[in-house]
Amino acid sequence: MAVTSELLKRILFFLIGLILIALGISVTIIADFGCGGWDATNIALVRHFGLSVGTWLNIWAFVYLLVACMIERKRYRIECMATSLIIGAGVDLFNYLLRFAVFEEAWLKPLVFILGTIIISLGAGFYLVSKLPPNPTDYMMMCIKEHFHLSITFAKTLVEAIGIVLALLLGGPVGIGTFLMIVIFGPCIDFFYQIAEHFYQRISRA
């Protein structure tokens, strides 16, 4: 019974985290202040080739896992696609629900962007606490870190930089927020991870 209860709590944190990440991504997109490099790439791909942001997110997730598989020379971590599928579906849903949200005032855009970043960071904290299958992007980043003996910060920056370059080449919505994310995401996620971990431990003792 204890094992089942523990697993249910982890699944709950996992799902809450992924839903918050999807919502945060959509909020940063509508902020029109610059979104994550790979999100900007996905938006550009939608403009050029159609489909949806969530669909392109999942296509890239498949590629990330393939790269990780080649680096590690181990089996393809197909279970990580579950994380991407939930986020992708969530992004498409929230993009649809928020499609009429437009912020004309210049001062509102950075505030909405900060809100979106906070939501993503909070979601990442919850999802990381669950210790269930990682996001394909994070998994590829860790494979790069371990194989090439890099720091997490450098590996994360490298992965994001590739996304930014692709977004620029494709004409994606790269802005001030895109570069801010590289700097602030690490500390924000670490902060909210500590909060989520404390909350998880607290309900586990209840």
Distance separating alpha carbons of residues 135 and 154, to the nearest angstrom:
18
Instruction: State both tokens at 169.
Output: 């080449």
Which of the residue ranges 13-22, 65-74, 105-114 would you say has the lowest mean pLDDT?
A: 65-74
What's the mean pLDDT when you consider all of the chain? 89
**What confidence category does residue 58 fall into, taking pLDDT thresholds of 50, 70 and 90?**
very high
**What confidence category does residue 120 fall into, taking pLDDT thresholds of 50, 70 and 90?**
very high
Distance separating alpha carbons of residues 24 and 203, to the nearest angstrom:
25
More confident residue, 126 or 157: 126
- Using left for φ > 0, alpha for ψ between -120 and 50, and beta otherwise, residue 150 falls in beta
pLDDT value of residue 1: 42
pLDDT value of residue 145: 83
Instruction: State both tokens at 8.
Output: 């249910």
**What confidence category does residue 84 fall into, taking pLDDT thresholds of 50, 70 and 90?**
very high
Portion of the chain with pLDDT greater than 90, in percent: 50
Portion of the chain with pLDDT greater than 70, in percent: 98
**What confidence category does residue 206 fall into, taking pLDDT thresholds of 50, 70 and 90?**
low
Q: Is residue 175 over pLDDT 50? A: yes
- Enumerate residues 6+ apart whose C-beta is below 8 A from 87: 18, 21, 22, 25, 54, 57, 135
Residue 148: enclosing H or E segment and its boundaries? helix 136-148
Q: How many CB atoms lie within 10 A of CB 133?
A: 17
What spatial distance separates the first Cα and last Cα of the chain, rounded to whole Å? 15
Instruction: State both tokens at 165.
Output: 């370059």
pLDDT value of residue 3: 55
Helix axes 176-205, 2-31, angle to 10 degrees: 160
